[in-house]
Amino acid sequence: MRIKQFEDRYQLEPSFEENPVNIRKQRFIEDEQIRVQQNLAGRPSNIGYFEGLMYERDYSTKDRLRIGYFCRMIPPEILMAFDADAVRLDCGNGAAAAVGEEVLSGEICPLAKASFGSFLQADSLANTCDVVVLPSSCDAKRKMGEVLNDFVPTFVFNLPSEQNHTRYARASVSELIRLIGFLETQTKRRFSTRRLKAAIASGLRRTRLVREISDLRMRNPRALSVRDLFLIIQSVLFRPIDLDAWTEETRLVCDELASRDAPSRSLRPRLVLTGAPMVWPNYKVLNIIEESGADIVADTLCTGAQSCFDPVIVDERGRRSMLRALANTYVFASICPCFISQTTRINRILDLAATSDADGVISYSLRLCQLFDVENYRITKTLKARQIPHINIRTDYSLEDTEQIRIRIEAFLETL
Ligand code: SF4
């Protein structure tokens, strides 16, 4: 089956922006976050391995197929079944957003602008990908597919708008089959069920480890800063890596955390973080929360522990049942606000607040992302009705509002 998503008729020549000043700004933002994080106390002894992955700037050399993808709804296992590195491309650098803005002008969220901005930079990791896959999650992503297709063959995965399994499971599986057909056409490789099975198994190992670290942190959040937790998780999602090596290193982190004694009593407030994605180096709000004396003990972010929360459970043999299991995990268990109902997300927040014994919830929204803005109304009311303290922080990628946010968060913490 030969599949191509967009017609060639209006295809444009990709144009790259030579902007050395902006590149320097991007590096500066990254260096600042590296500096902040390197000053954290009690980091795992092998944190250098994860830093090496995240801080690497030259990924131009590759000996494997590389498939880029966006969001939490694309199963990386499908991409790995093509014997490819699966690399998530959502970008968190504010300077890259400024580049993207020059082309994608208008009221678009900074994550979409920054992600597009990274394609405008010829030597970026995004431009080393052979194929890109993104879901029709929000308007920006839905429309960005055709724009990215000028740079690299791109597939837009049609998501159902509703997480109604009975009604849309079949449609999601057939969309996964269409994705497989597209990747076969573009990569000239055969999809392998055997490799898919192996990819699901290694995905499960990753999920177990992330859950184990999350449980350890719930008991003793001071054992690992949430910023290092995000660094560890994002290194496996956002970089082309050797998954076995990552698994071994993360195993060492778990063992080290387990050997650390939890303080018998901590006065630091325990918080659940929910909301928009935070992608390295955009850890501004994480810096402020921890520096203000609180701990994030659980999160629902699609770039945090939530990204690896739900295991893929295959209950029957065969390719189709594996695809169904992937759709169940990545589409129907997703808590992305792009779906019609926000029940899954509210359930997860309440569940995490109870199981982590949290003192409050922090919502984080990115300016110009209407999805989170609209959801915040019901989340605020629901938490208030249950007397769970809650604050909503609405910001973008710039650092200008850092002190304002710090004041708001400190005031919130005082009320706990
Ligand atoms: S919140 Fe949803 S749309 Fe936004 S990056 Fe995450 S998965 Fe994608």
For residue range 239-285, list pLDDT tens digits in order: 999 999 999 999 999 999 999 877 767 789 999 999 999 999 999 99
CA distance 413 to 410: 5
50 vs 57, higher pLDDT: 50
Choose the residue to mutate in 336, 339, 363 for probing ligand 1, maximizing ligand atoms within 8 Å of C-beta: 336
Spatial CA neighbour of 215 closest among 357, 94, 316: 357
| pLDDT of 60 strictly over 60 | yes
C-beta 112 within 6 A of ligand 1: no
Q: How much is the average pLDDT of 156-182?
A: 95
Q: pTM score, two decimals?
A: 0.95
- How confident is residue 7, by pLDDT bands cut at 50, 70 and 90? confident
CA 73 – ligand 1 centroid, Å: 8
pLDDT tens digits, residue range 87-135?
A: 999 999 999 999 998 888 778 999 999 999 999 998 899 999 999 999 9
Q: How much is the average pLDDT of 330-339?
A: 95
- For residue 137, give every residue at least 6 positions away whose Cβ sits within 8 Å of its Cβ, in sequence order, or none: 70, 71, 73, 159, 336, 338
What average pLDDT does the structure give for the chain?
A: 94
Spatial CA neighbour of 76 closest among 139, 143, 133: 133
pLDDT tens digits, residue range 389-410?
A: 999 999 999 999 999 999 999 9
CA distance 234 to 146: 26
C-beta 142 within 6 A of ligand 1: no
Question: What pLDDT, on a 0 to 100 scale, did the predictor assign at position 16?
Answer: 83
C-beta 159 within 6 A of ligand 1: no
Question: What pLDDT, on a 0 to 100 scale, did the predictor assign at position 356?
Answer: 95
**Look-up: residue for tokens 């320097």?**
24
Give the strand order in the sheet containing 84-88: 84-88, 65-69, 131-135, 154-157
| pLDDT of 343 strictly over 70 | yes
| pLDDT of 148 strictly over 90 | yes
| pLDDT of 161 strictly over 70 | yes
Nearest CA to ligand 1 atom 7: 71
Question: What pLDDT, on a 0 to 100 scale, did the predictor assign at position 5?
Answer: 82
**Look-up: residue for tokens 């590149």?**
23
| pLDDT of 175 strictly over 60 | yes
357, exposed or middle or buried, with CB in 10 Å at 0-12, 13-18, 19+? exposed
| pLDDT of 29 strictly over 60 | yes
Q: How much is the average pLDDT of 334-362?
A: 96
CA 301 – ligand 1 centroid, Å: 9
Nearest CA to ligand 1 atom 5: 71
Nearest CA to ligand 1 atom 2: 336
| pLDDT of 139 strictly over 60 | yes
Spatial CA neighbour of 85 closest among 66, 62, 58: 66
Q: How much is the average pLDDT of 314-338?
A: 94
- For residue 119, give every residue at least 6 positions away whose Cβ sits within 8 Å of its Cβ, in sequence order, or none: 14, 126, 127, 148, 151, 152
Spatial CA neighbour of 200 closest among 291, 312, 319: 312
C-beta 345 within 6 A of ligand 1: no
Q: Give the residues across from 84 on adjacent strands.
A: 65
| pLDDT of 1 strictly over 60 | no
CA 137 – ligand 1 centroid, Å: 7
CA distance 50 to 215: 20
Question: What pLDDT, on a 0 to 100 scale, did the predictor assign at position 320?
Answer: 93
